[in-house]
Structure 1
Amino acid sequence: MVRREWKHLSGTGCQMFEQFPPEVVEKRRKLVPKMKDAKKEGKRSWIVYDTLYVDGKPVKQ
């Protein structure tokens, strides 16, 4: 519940960050360069948990 209300913390001095297990952090770290390359090509790309999405479709590694 609290994670969905993070927008209301703006300006209060409180912050909220997502925390992932070390395995997921490592996987995300490897996906960031691929995400940046896709953005340079003009594609929409983002990472959800440990999955890279490019133009709305999950990318297999």
Structure 2
Amino acid sequence: MKRQKRDRLERAQARGYQAGKNGRSSEACPYQSLDARTNWLGGWRDAREEIQTGLK
């Protein structure tokens, strides 16, 4: 069960990262659970920081 939970959260972060790279708003987060939403937003922030620093 822990394996599934970890994978789900990693997937949420990866999807948030892609959303950030594609220029989507942080309001577009599709997750309702706090853990998944937190990871999605973390990935989204990572992508936005890369864009702002010019790493793209």
**Structure 1 length-normalised TM:** 0.34
Greater relative contact order (CA < 8 Å, ≥ 6 in sequence) = 2
Higher helix fraction (1 or 2) = 2
Larger CA Rg, structure 1 vs 2: 1
Q: Higher strand proportion, which one?
A: 1
